[in-house]
Structure 1
Amino acid sequence: MPVAIIDGQPLHYLDQGAGPVVLLGSSYLWDHTMWAPQIEALSQQYRVIVPELWGHGESGTLPPQTQSLDDLARQTLALLDQLEIPQVNLVGLSVGGMWGARLALRAPERINSVVLMDTYLGAEPEATRQYYFSLFKMIEDAGAIPEPLLDVVAPIFFRADIDRESALYQGFRSALQAFSKERLVHSIVPLGRLIFSREDILQQLPRLDADTTLVMCGEQDKPRPPAESAEMAELIGCALTLIPDAGHISSRENPDFVNEALLTFLANHA
């Protein structure tokens, strides 16, 4: 996997296919494999680029100058500059949409189209922010995600009736278990605190181009419920697509539906 040095740290990214560029922004706690079905489908006619979040995949430690989601947007722009990519079609899920929207607002000339999936540009509700911060403290203190916490964290990402013996669920649970103490303490936990203490930028959403923006959300998304997506789509003035039989990681839970929606959208906008 190629690597770029951004803010002094190695940022690994997948670069596959040829054609107009589609930049995929991943969810917290997932590496590029969360997009495996989309990479396969989209790279037939697009150049697909998937940067790994700091501390995820093979990417390095969260750089000390990373203080906000705006910094993640800035770092991604730096990657595009290094790759000499003038414009992208940005598809961001969860935190990928949070920094993705900020990138689109910061550098609209670099954005051809935007898909915001299972994400929210408002502040985290205080109750959930405090809940997540309590989990981060437990993980920090343990230097691991303790066994009981695995069965608290993993289900957050999926629809309620997911088969917990499935390869998708078990693979994610195993990936959480495999995070080293160093990654958790120096990258994963601080990145999580940064994400869940984000600023509310809902009032900036009308600046996005309604004609080239799409909001998508799993019908059963618990952490980012469809009501949040509906609120954003209304502010932008763009279409909202609900993804059946999917929770938060809709890209993996209903990949065929997501692929068709993305290919249709990109055919009209890329």
Structure 2
Amino acid sequence: MPSVIIDGQPLHYVDQGSGPAVLLGQSYLWDQHMWAPQIAALSQQYRVIVPELWGHGESGPLPAQTRTLDDLARQALALLDHLEIAQVNLVGLSVGGMWAAPLALLAPERVNSLVLMDTYLGAEPEATREQYFALLGAIEAAGAIPDALLDIIVPIFFRPGIDHDSALYQDFRQSLRDFPKDRLLQSIVPLGRLIFGRGDALEGLSRLNSDTTLVMCGNEDQPRPPAEAQEMADLIGCDLVLIPDAGHISSRENPDFVNEALLTFLTNHA
């Protein structure tokens, strides 16, 4: 994978295919493989760019000056500048959407279209914010993600009925267990606090272009439920697509549906 130095750290990214550029923003605690089915499908017609979050995959640690979601948006824009991509189609899932929307507002002339998946631009509800901060504190204290925490964290990302013995579930669980202590302390924990301590950015959604924006959400997403997606779609004035049989990582739980929806949307907007 290629990389570029941004804010003093190496940001690794996938760059596959040719045609109009599509940038896929991933979820917290996942790497490029979260988008594997979409990279395979979209790269037949598009140039697919997938930056890995700081501290995830092969990317370096969270740069010291990264304090807000706007900083993540600015860093993604720096990647586009490095790649000399003048205009891009943004698809952001979870935290990927939390920085993709600010990027679209920061540089609207650079964004052809925007898809916000399983994400929420409001502040984290107090109850879940407290829960997530407690989990982050426990990870920090342990310098690892022990099994007791994995039993809490892993199910959050999937629909309730997923087979816990499936490769998708077990591979993700193992990837969290494998995080080294320095990566957890330098990147994962501080990035989590940045994400879950975010401010309310719903007000800006009305300034997005409703004709070139789409909201998508797994119909069984637990941390980012469809009601939040509907709230955002109403504020933007755009369509909402519910993804059947999918939780938070809808790109992996129902990839065929997601691929078809993205290809249809991009055909009309890229």
TM-score of the pair, normalised by structure 2:
1.00
Give the alignment's Cα RMSD to 1 decimal: 0.4
Q: Which 5+ residue runs of structure 2 have no aligned equivalent?
A: none
- What is residue 144 of structure 2 aligned with on the other side? 144
- What is residue 119 of structure 1 aligned with on the other side? 119
- What is residue 232 of structure 1 aligned with on the other side? 232
- In 1, distance between residues paired with 2:204 and 2:70? 14
**Between the two proteins, what is the percent identity of the paired residues?**
77
- What is residue 254 of structure 2 aligned with on the other side? 254
Secondary structure, in 3 states, of the residue corresponding to 1:191? helix
Give the deviation of 1:146 after TM superposition.
1.1
Secondary structure, in 3 states, of the residue corresponding to 2:4? strand
1:85-132 CA distances to partner (integer Å, 9 max, x unpaired)? 001000000000000001001110110000000000000011111110
Secondary structure, in 3 states, of the residue corresponding to 1:22? strand
2:258 corresponds to which letter in structure 1? Answer: V
2:230 corresponds to which letter in structure 1? Answer: A
- In 2, distance between residues paired with 1:38 and 1:151? 28
Displaced runs of 4 or more, over 3 A: none
- What is residue 223 of structure 2 aligned with on the other side? 223
- In 2, distance between residues paired with 1:69 and 1:201? 10
Q: Which 5+ residue runs of structure 1 have no aligned equivalent?
A: none
1:67-99 CA distances to partner (integer Å, 9 max, x unpaired)? 000000000101111111001000000000000
- What is residue 81 of structure 2 aligned with on the other side? 81
1:208 corresponds to which letter in structure 2? Answer: L
Q: Does 1:54 align with 2:81?
A: no
- In 1, distance between residues paired with 2:37 and 2:137? 34
Matching of residues 155-166 of structure 1 within 5 Å? 155-166=155-166
- What is residue 33 of structure 1 aligned with on the other side? 33
- In 2, distance between residues paired with 1:26 and 1:255? 14
- In 2, distance between residues paired with 1:183 and 1:102? 26
- What is residue 22 of structure 1 aligned with on the other side? 22
Matching of residues 85-124 of structure 1 within 5 Å? 85-124=85-124
Give the deviation of 1:134 after TM superposition.
0.4
- In 2, distance between residues paired with 1:106 and 1:48? 21
Secondary structure, in 3 states, of the residue corresponding to 1:162? coil
1:9-49 CA distances to partner (integer Å, 9 max, x unpaired)? 00000000000000000000000100000000000000000
Give the deviation of 1:199 after TM superposition.
1.1
- In 2, distance between residues paired with 1:183 and 1:104? 30
1:158 corresponds to which letter in structure 2? Answer: F
Q: Would you say how many aligned residue pairs link Structure 1 and Structure 2?
A: 270
- In 1, distance between residues paired with 2:159 and 2:29? 17
- In 1, distance between residues paired with 2:68 and 2:235? 23
- What is residue 129 of structure 1 aligned with on the other side? 129
- What is residue 199 of structure 1 aligned with on the other side? 199
2:146 corresponds to which letter in structure 1? Answer: P
Secondary structure, in 3 states, of the residue corresponding to 1:41? helix
